[in-house]
Every structure is written in C-alpha cells, then in structure tokens.
Structure 1
Amino acid sequence: MGFLKQNTPQVDLEEWNKGTRAEKIIPMARHWAEVGFGTPVALHLFYVAKIAAYILGAWLIVLTTTGIDGFTNVAQWYAEPIVFQKVVLYTMLFEVVGFGCGFGPLNNRFFPPMGSILYWLRPGTIRLPPWPNRIPLTKGDRRTAFDAAVYGALLVVLLVALFSDGTGLAAGTEVGVLPAWQLWTVLGLLALIGLRDKVIFLAARGEVYGSLTVACLLASHSVVDMIVAAKLVCLVIWLGAATSKLNKHFPFVISTMMSNNPVFRPRWIKRRFFEHFPDDLRPGRASRFLAHFSTAIEGLVPLVLFFSHGGWAGGIAAFVMLCFHFGILSSIPMGVPLEWNVFMMFSVVALFVGHPDIGLGDMTSPLPILLFVVVAGTVVLGNLFPRKVSFLPGMRYYAGNWDTSLWCLTPSADAKIAKNIVAIASMPAAQLEKFYGSKEAAQIPMYMGYAFRAFNTHGRALFTLAHRAMAGHNEDDYTLTDGERIVSTAIGWNFGDGHMSNEQLVAALQQRCGFEPGEVRIVMLDAQPIHRQTQQYRLVDAATGEFESGYVDVADMVTRQPWDDTVPVHVLRSSTLR
C-alpha cells in the first residue's frame, strides 16, 4: 500500500480479459483478502483530517455560546444540555450538506467528492417522495424551486440554531437551552422536505439526529426528560444494530472490513480473517469470533451503561463503548460513516458520563417513553419488513443485510443517462476512466468493486441473478453497475440503501431517458427479514417492467466463494416477455 499510489492487483490484462466475469473476479478477491482496496495512505489521512475538521468545527461552534468559555476547559462545559443540542444539529448539518456518510473516493465519488447540496439546491434534479400516492402534494419526481427553497431553509435554520445562545435557565443547566421554536422549525422543515424527497431525510440521518432533535425539544419542558430521551434513542441505536446482526451475513462484513483495515497492515494478519487463503475466502474463525463478540458488546454493554447509573460498572461500560466505536472508526470502512461514530462516542461521554445518575425514575412526563416506542417500533418493522423500511431507520447498520440492486447497462443506455438527467457527477464508469486514465485501466478498480460486493453474501446472489436478467442477450454488451453508483449519479447521495435504486428510480429514469426494451436490466434483491432465511428478488426491465421474481436461500449464499455465481434460484413468477 503506497502513500500516494493505490496498491492494485498485478494481472496480465490480455489473459485476464479472456476470462468470464467470475474468473476475472478471482484475482481481485484474493488481492482484496490480503490488501483490501489498496487505498493510498494519503487518502486515509485525508479522511482522518476530515474527522479532525468535524471535531474542531463542533468545538468552535459550542464556544460561541454565551456562558461556555475556555477551549481547553472542556470538563466544565461538556455535559451542558445545550452543548449536546448543538452537536446534534451540527452533525445533522454536516451530514445533510454531504460531508459525512458517502463522501469521497471511498464511496466511489471522485469528481466531485460529494453530491447532496450540489443536487438539492438545484431544481430539475430527481427527487424520490416516500409516499407519493398517499401524501397530498408530494407526487412527481422533479425537484422544484420550492423543494430547493425548503432544503435551503433547513440549512439556514440549522445555522441559526448553532450560533444561538441558551434561553430558559431550567434546572440542570447554567446557560440555558436552545429556543424551542428553532428545534420545532428544524423538525418541521426536515419532515416537509422528507415527504417530498426521502433521500434528503435519509442523508440527514433522520433516524439518529431527527430523533435526537425530538429529544432535545423536551429540554424546554424538562432537561431531565431530554437526557432520558436521548439516552433511550442511543439505546435503540445500539440494541437495534446488534439485533440486526444476529444473522449469517455479519461475519462476511467483518472479514471484508478487516481486510480493508488500514491499521492491520501485514498481509498475514488479513489472511487470518478468512477460512483458508487463497482458495476458501469465506469468513474464518477470527471473523466469526469478532462478529459474535462485537454483537454481544453492542447488545449487552449499553444495557449496563443505561441501568448502572454510573459507578465502576458504568465507567467500564462507557470505556468499552468508546473502544467499540473507535474500533469501527479506525477501520475507515467503505461508505465512511466516520463522523457518526465520533458522534456516538461524544454521546457516551456527554449523556452517560456527564449525567450518569439520570434514569427512567427521574422522568417528569411519559414523552421519553413515547419517543422510545416510536423509534424502537420502526426498528422492529424494519427487521420484519425490510422492503418497506430503509435499513437506516431499521437500524440495520453494517449487518450485511440490506436491499441491493445491480444494473446491467448497454452503452446506449449509459449515454442516455448521461445526456438526459440533471446531474453533477458523470456515470461511474466514466468517473473511473477519468480517474485512472483509460478504459482498460479502469477495469481493475471496477472489478475490485465487484469483488467487494461479492465478499458480501448478497453479491453472490446478485451476480447469479445478473445472468438471468441478461438471458437472451449478449452479456458482453452490458456493463454491470452497482445500484449505489447509479444512485450516486442520479440523485446525489448513496449509502448502501437499495430503497433508493428500486422501481421508483427506474420509473424516473425511464421517463427522462426512454430506454428501449433490453437496454437496462436490473436485479433487485430485498434484505432478509429477521424471521426468514430467504431473500426475495425481482428482475426488471426499465422499459417493460418486472419480468421475473422469486427468492434465494441465505444458506446457499453463505456456503459459496465470492466468485461463485451459481447460487440456486427459486422462481415464483416469470414472464415470457423478456
């Protein structure tokens, strides 16, 4: 791994190009297993600098508050409720502008390194309303000046709140809390723009920072209720994420993430996370242990943290959770949810260390419990009905189990997308060619991306189903593109959520591009419901609609190698109109 140069697999391109897609993935997968994506050290340092900038920004903004003084006097003010309120809103702003999750080259964003604000302040771009047929005044998929104005208003109100002083010297605070009207306005604008475009709500990480803004709102009634509510939201995040990892997929996430970890650099360490390198690249004993151990920590330690009310048990639990999130942070995972992990570490300190004695028995109203029920209920529904609930509000973070899609595009379809949609970034293949200098050189990172997807269990199903999606056509005429990459270009933000690359986006693109039958074929694979051991799939032609559906068994995916595209498929419905 070089400081400025990516460590890429060394293959004979002429011979390598003669292989099938599965055969071409093999050397990429073996390289990933012992090197990872080969990210240059300088790029990792860039993300480290971004984390530092995020922390410094929050620090300086907090210090603009009247009554909070001393850059190094953190111990005197870190537990002030208004500090927590401002960090919540600051992180929401950081994310919804586009600097957080999904930023930069580790999310395949090269030119420019972000979308978000560049799209959402621009009328004419695609928006995806969550319930257009149920919520009045939300139909349509074109962003209007009104949508851009509401998004801009959200940014402005967040900035106003960040530079406001506290009001209402209630018990538990010496400098007051943010005015309730500011928090109500943030929530109102977030809800309004979310009903017009679910992507912005998800990008703002509404399930985390939106829920915590509701908790912060309770401070105008009772600071104690705010602290309890915020603690309960954190508890749901941890327990929800842990519960979603009780599956057969998560060890595959661990082995993939650890092989890409910049801290564990020796190749012999990375190889130990696999069953038997180089022939058996399923998760090894170390990956399985780490998966189960980390799930136990995430599911059990927060209970100690919440119910211990401080003391030595609470102190140990807080230290363990800080180490837990730092472990994720230091691996610089793909998708880069870096600042989120920093925020969760801050929450441990500000809420559980700063206010260890405040618990359920101190509530002055049932509102914290009501918030808990709503957030936890969403998590339950998300795990039972993953097609209906995004993996973000479903708290299925990095569980290896989320909706995915794989798009099979002809060159003519690629050209139509580039010509007919309002976008900031070019199509993924074009970005890679520009970054790596030629179409031939771009093949290596493209197949490294295939290997990354294939290391996750759903990748085996996606590449198997791609054969069925292109049946009757020459597969060499298609370029396979991850649905996330399409979303990145078309709507400006992506973070592993197949809900943004489903039939709704297909319809929006078809309306603009007028694809011919066979030009765009898409594999859509639902996440696994927690109570079943199958995953539903749909094969869709952008011009003619769904032409096949069925399911694959999870057991058949977890027993195969990353390059194996022969997963048994159970067809439930098939159309003769292919």
Structure 2
Amino acid sequence: MGFTKPDLPKVDPDTFLQKPLMERMRILAVDWAENGFGSPRMVHTIYIVKLVLFFALGGIVIATVTSGLPAFWHVSEWWNQPIVYQKVILWTVLLEAVGVAGSWGPLAGKITPMTGGIRFWARPGTIRLRPWRWVPLTGGDRRTRFDVVLYVALLVSLAVPLLAPGVHSASLSQALPDNTSGLVDPALLLAPIVLLVLVGLRDKTIFLGARGEQYLPALVFFAALPFVNMIIALKMLIVVVWVGAGFSKFGKHFANVIPPMVSNSPSMPLKFVKRAHYRDFPRDMRPSRLANFMAHGNGTVVEIVAPLILFVSTNMWVTVAAALFMVAFHLFIISTFPLAVPLEWNVVFAYTTVFLFLGYPNWDGYAPWDMSPPWLALIIAAALLFFPVLGNVRPDKVSFLPSMRQYAGNWASAVWAFAPGAEEKLNRVTRSAKNQIDQFVEYGYEPKWAEITLQKTAAWRTMHSQARGLFSVLLTQLPDIDTRTVREAEFVCNSLIGFNFGDGHLHDVDMIRAVQREARFEPGELVIAWVESEALGSGVQHYKVIDGALGVIELGTWKVADAVEEQPWLPNGPIPLQVTWSLSGTSPAGRRRDQDHGHGALA
C-alpha cells in the first residue's frame, strides 16, 4: 500500500466483474481480511492531522483563550478546569453538527466533497427525516427555509457560549475557592438545548449527526445543576454510555465485528495477526477464538467492568488503573479507523475519563452518593436509561445511537440492488454530492476499479452477521441478481442525506419514499433488503423487501443463529427465511400495487 495509491484487490477487473455476485463477495471479503478497505495512507494521515490540529488543538486553544487561561501548552493549568471541559463539549457538538467530525471523509463514503452535513442540512429541498410521525408540525420529507434557519440558528447558538467568557458560579466557588475562570453562562446554554430538541423533532439526521443523544444531556447538566451535582451527573452519563454499549455487545453479533475492524486497521500491518482473527483463513471466515476473546474479553468485559469500577471506586490506584484501561480502549478504536470514523468522539471520551474520574475523584466528594438531594440521582439515572432500555426492547422505535448500541454489530442495515443503469437515477435527487461511483471516478479511479472498490464495501457488510440474511433475501427475490449493481446502503445513504453512522433507520422506508419522489424508479429497478436490529433476547431479525417504486413487498424473519453460522458468501445458499407477508406477484418487476394492503406503495 502506497502513501497516495490505494491497495487494490489482486484481480483482473474485466474477468472479476463477470463473476457471480457471491463469488465476487468471497474474493473481496478474503481481500478485506488481509488489506482492509485498502485506502491510501494519505487518507489516514488526513484524518490524523484533522484530529490533532483542527479538533484537539483548535478546541483547546479556543477553550483556553476565551476563558482567560494560560496558553494551551501549559497543560497542568487547564486540563481539570471545568470551563475547559464545557467548551470542549460545545466545540465537539458544533463540529459534529456542521459535519466535519464523525462520518466525515473518504472512510465514511464522502470522497468529493469530503464534507456532508452542512452542505446538505443548510440547503432547502434536501431530504429531511422526522423521527416519529406522531409529532405534530413535522410532516413532509424536504427541508424548508424554516428548517434551514432553525439549523443555522443551532450552529450560532453553539458558537456563542463557546466563544463567550466564563461567569461566576457560587456553587463552583464553594467547591473550588481558588477557581477564577468560572463556568459557561447557563443562560447561554438554553438556546442550543431548545434548538437541538426542536431540530431533532423535525430532523433526526441532524440530531443524530450532532450526537444529541450523548451531548444534549451534558448541556442540560451544565445549565441546570450546581457544580458538584453536575460533575456526578456527567459521570453517570458517561458510565451509561459505556455500560450500555458493553451490554449491547452480548449475543451473537459482536464477534463478527472484530475481525473486519482489525483487518482495516492501518496500525496492524502484520497480516498473520489479521488472519488469526478468522477461524480458518481463507476457507472459514467466521470469527476465531482470538476474535471472540477480543470481542467479549477485551471488549465487552472492559467496557462494563472498568466503568463500574470508576463509578464506585474510592481507591486512587484502582481508579487510575481503570481510567487507563478506558483511555487505552478509546485509543484502540481510534487506531482502527472504523468506517463511521468517530475519532473526535473517542478523543472526547478519553479526555472525559481523565477529567471526571481523576480530576474530580470520588474520594474528594464527587461520588454518586454525594449528590444532593440523593433522590435526584435516581431521577437522572432513570432519564439516562430510558432510551437505552426502550431501544434494546423495541429497536424499531429508537435509533441504535440513543439505544447505546454503538458498534455492537446489532444494527438495522440494508443492501440496495439496482437494475442495470438504474443507479444513475439517484443523481436526480436534490443533494450536494453525486453517487459514490461518480465520486471515485472524479477522484481519479478508472471506472472498473471504482466499481470494484464500491463492491468491496458490500463485501465488508457480508462479514457481519446481518448481511448473511440480507443477501439471502436478495438471492431469493432476484433471479437476475448477478447482473445487478449491489450497493452497501450506508454508503448510498451518505450521498443522499449527508450523514450515516451505521444506523439503518436513516435509510428506511421513509427515506426511500423521499428518494423515489425525485428518482422515479420503475417497479423492479431498485430492490432493497432491509433488516431491523435484533430485539433483546428475541433470537430473530425482522426484514423487509422494499421496491423503490412499489414500497414494501415482503416481510419476514430469519434466525440470528442461522446467520452467524454461515460464511459471508453463502456457499450453502440462502439461510432459511420465514416469510410473514408478501405482496401478490411473482417477481419485483411484475408485482402489482396492492391498494387494499396496509403496506402501501412509496410512489
């Protein structure tokens, strides 16, 4: 792999593209296992420079300069200053809301341009997705000028407290008499809190893009709680995020996440280590014992046990050890450059670990039992746990982000299959980026290699449990699947709405309906296999087959156990599917619209 050249699969493009779909998936999955996405090292360097200079250094400089603190190189003077932490959070929310933090750049499917976010969200006529249909005054699927004004106002409201000097806080002075920098003015936080809620009720894409499920509670704590209670509540917040994510990794899905993630890590150049994460490379690509240990030993256990130790420990050395574990945990995630590239989020959580648990340790009066009054802790805990609990029991009701199921492998996801030439119709949709195939070509890829590179993202999906079901659905539905253009939905979604973080709720039936309004697919031209996350303990996943023109044409389930036992390329054929409902007709192109059935058309 060169600094500026990608590491392309060792195939003849003409011969490769004539092979059956699942044979192509096998070849590319095996290639991924050794080489990952194959991105040029220049790409990772861009991310590192952005992370260190723009995000970390830029945020620290802004926080210290606007708070009257010594220059950023005097780390001992600012690392545990409460106002610095508050402004780091504001800086992070602002960058996430603009779209230059998570889900940014080539690794997130944004090649030219590299930024989604603001390029879509500040433009009337782009696709807007509401979180719940029952919320009044949220109808429609396109952004209006009102939505754009609301979004821009949110950005301004975040910038104002970020740049404003601190104000005196009686509760802070009582706890830290020597502190002179104060806190962010609580009054200045009311606007971003209200605007983030209002934007979120009309536009879930922006809310999730700003990572509102994690940072909105922090802003509320900054604005509403006295200092000691604020610190304890912030500890509760981060522990819920950690433990929720750790809990979600129990089950059959997560072990399948580790091998392709390690294979894609530029910090892991040793191919024999990458191969060791597969049961019998290249014949058996299921997770090995090493991958299972990495998933549930170093992953799940650490993400649950270490945070709980931090939460209750009153021993300095135990606390330091647990904090180092969590910092190392987040640095490891950064080193793998996961495709959603949540690098800034991991830096913030590493800093948060040090700031909260070492800067304000339990033995100094910042333990959970020090909250006053004690019943307030119960109310905050219940509020923080509401969406994680609901989202695990009813994943169809809550995005996997508020459900705290980050990178657990248990995702709502999809694969899109276009009839020859039909993908080009997506360029009719109002947006700020072309189809990824066109972006790769404009970047300099030959068209055939651009196609193979995009097919590699579909192969990456096959390495995860839910894809064995998704591809089984397509193989069952589409006799002509080998002639179709098959795309990983997360990449397609990025070009259509400017953001995706692995959440299939962002490219569900509502989004496809919005796309169809402008793309105008004919029946059978776009067929999508879409699946919901597994509900806690259910053992099954519920899938939908969606025709771009006709709507939902089939509903069913598959057993998770069947999916995880198969190879990515399904050598034994489709896994068993239990069809629970099907629209009349024999093929997607020939199915007629059923006016009487509740699963209506998208047209």
Does TM, normalized by the shorter one, top 0.5?
A: yes
Q: Which amino acid aligns with 1:394?
A: S
State the match for 1:465 in structure 2: 473
| Structural mapping, 1:378-417, within 5 Å | 378-411=387-420, 413-417=422-426
Tell me the matched-pair count: 572
State the match for 2:588 in structure 1: none
Cα shift at 1:13? 2.8
Task: Give 1:527's match in structure 2, choosing from 533, 538, 544.
Answer: 533
The answer to whether 1:352 aligns with 2:349 is: no
Task: Give 2:452's match in structure 1, choosing from 433, 440, 444.
Answer: 444
State the match for 2:47 in structure 1: 47
| Structural mapping, 1:529-568, within 5 Å | 529-564=535-570, 566-568=574-576
Q: Quick check: 1:536–1:550 contact (8 Å CA) kept in 2?
A: yes
Q: RMSD over aligned Cα, in angstroms?
A: 1.6
Task: Give 1:575's match in structure 2, choosing from 573, 583, 587.
Answer: 583
Task: Give 1:261's match in structure 2, choosing from 262, 265, 270.
Answer: 265
Task: Give 2:336's match in structure 1, choosing from 320, 331, 335.
Answer: 331
The answer to whether 1:275 aligns with 2:276 is: no
Q: Which amino acid aligns with 1:155?
A: L
Q: Quick check: 1:226–1:368 contact (8 Å CA) kept in 2?
A: no
Task: Give 1:487's match in structure 2, choosing from 483, 487, 493.
Answer: 493
Pair 1:478–1:14, CA change in 2 (3 A)? closer
Cα shift at 1:383? 0.9
State the match for 1:111 in structure 2: 112
Q: Distance in 2 between matches of 1:55 and 1:147?
A: 30
Q: Which amino acid aligns with 2:481?
A: E
| Structural mapping, 1:41-80, within 5 Å | 41-52=41-52, 53-80=54-81
Q: Quick check: 1:258–1:270 contact (8 Å CA) kept in 2?
A: yes
The answer to whether 1:127 aligns with 2:128 is: yes
Q: Give secondary structure in 1 for the equivalent of 2:339.
A: coil
Cα shift at 1:476? 4.8
Q: Distance in 2 between matches of 1:244 and 1:376?
A: 13
Q: Distance in 2 between matches of 1:137 and 1:431?
A: 36
Q: Quick check: 1:487–1:494 contact (8 Å CA) kept in 2?
A: yes
Q: Distance in 2 between matches of 1:36 and 1:372?
A: 40
Q: Distance in 2 between matches of 1:308 and 1:155?
A: 38
Q: Quick check: 1:229–1:369 contact (8 Å CA) kept in 2?
A: no
Q: Quick check: 2:416–2:527 contact (8 Å CA) kept in 1?
A: yes
Cα shift at 1:434? 3.0
Q: Cα deviation per residue 1:270-321 (whole Å; 9 max; x = unaligned)?
A: 1111111111111111111111112100011111111113511111111111
Q: Distance in 1 between matches of 2:583 and 2:137?
A: 35
Q: Which amino acid aligns with 2:95?
A: F
- Identity over the aligned pairs, expressed in percent? 39
Cα shift at 1:535? 0.5
Q: Give secondary structure in 2 for the equivalent of 1:79.
A: coil
Cα shift at 1:16? 2.3
Q: Cα deviation per residue 1:348-373 (whole Å; 9 max; x = unaligned)?
A: 11111100030122212444442321
Q: Distance in 1 between matches of 2:242 and 2:336?
A: 19
Q: Distance in 2 between matches of 1:509 and 1:39?
A: 30
Q: Which amino acid aligns with 2:111?
A: F
Q: Distance in 2 between matches of 1:553 and 1:162?
A: 49
Q: Which amino acid aligns with 2:46?
A: F
Q: Cα deviation per residue 1:454-479 (whole Å; 9 max; x = unaligned)?
A: 111111111111123435xx335531
Cα shift at 1:142? 1.3
Pair 1:149–1:230, CA change in 2 (3 A)? same
Q: Which amino acid aligns with 2:97?
A: V
Q: Quick check: 1:325–1:344 contact (8 Å CA) kept in 2?
A: yes
Q: Which amino acid aligns with 1:147?
A: D
* Greater displacement, 186-195 / 5-14: 5-14
Q: Distance in 1 between matches of 2:549 and 2:325?
A: 52
Q: Distance in 2 between matches of 1:485 and 1:378?
A: 27
Task: Give 2:254's match in structure 1, choosing from 244, 250, 254.
Answer: 250
State the match for 2:314 in structure 1: 309
State the match for 2:427 in structure 1: 418
Cα shift at 1:411? 4.7
Q: Distance in 1 between matches of 2:28 and 2:526?
A: 26
Pair 1:572–1:66, CA change in 2 (3 A)? closer
Q: Distance in 2 between matches of 1:566 and 1:67?
A: 63
Pair 1:452–1:364, CA change in 2 (3 A)? same
Q: Give secondary structure in 1 for the equivalent of 2:487.
A: strand
Q: Quick check: 1:216–1:230 contact (8 Å CA) kept in 2?
A: no
Q: Quick check: 1:522–1:541 contact (8 Å CA) kept in 2?
A: yes
State the match for 1:427 in structure 2: 435
Q: Quick check: 2:116–2:499 contact (8 Å CA) kept in 1?
A: yes
Q: Cα deviation per residue 1:229-284 (whole Å; 9 max; x = unaligned)?
A: 10000010000000000011111111111111111102111111111111111111
Q: Distance in 1 between matches of 2:477 and 2:397?
A: 24
State the match for 1:499 in structure 2: 505
Q: Which amino acid aligns with 1:426?
A: K
Q: Distance in 1 between matches of 2:219 and 2:300?
A: 27
Q: How does the TM-score come out when normalised to structure 2?
A: 0.92
Pair 1:327–1:319, CA change in 2 (3 A)? same
Q: Which amino acid aligns with 1:569?
A: L
Q: Distance in 2 between matches of 1:572 and 1:40?
A: 45
Q: Quick check: 1:386–1:402 contact (8 Å CA) kept in 2?
A: no
Q: Give secondary structure in 1 for the equivalent of 2:175.
A: coil
State the match for 1:172 in structure 2: 175
Pair 1:328–1:69, CA change in 2 (3 A)? same
Q: Distance in 2 between matches of 1:412 and 1:401?
A: 32
Q: Which amino acid aligns with 1:449?
A: T
Cα shift at 1:443? 2.6
Q: Quick check: 1:95–1:101 contact (8 Å CA) kept in 2?
A: yes
Q: Give secondary structure in 1 for the equivalent of 2:257.
A: helix
Cα shift at 1:437? 3.2
* Greater displacement, 512-521 / 394-403: 512-521
Q: Distance in 2 between matches of 1:81 and 1:340?
A: 19
* Gap regions ≥5 residues in structure 2: 586-590, 592-603
Q: Distance in 1 between matches of 2:77 and 2:443?
A: 48
Q: Which amino acid aligns with 2:552?
A: E
Cα shift at 1:423? 0.8
| Structural mapping, 1:27-46, within 5 Å | 27-46=27-46
Q: Cα deviation per residue 1:65-99 (whole Å; 9 max; x = unaligned)?
A: 34422322222332222111111111111111111
Q: Distance in 2 between matches of 1:515 and 1:558?
A: 33
| Structural mapping, 1:131-170, within 5 Å | 131-132=132-133, 134-170=134-170
State the match for 2:379 in structure 1: 370
Cα shift at 1:346? 0.7
Q: Distance in 1 between matches of 2:334 and 2:494?
A: 23
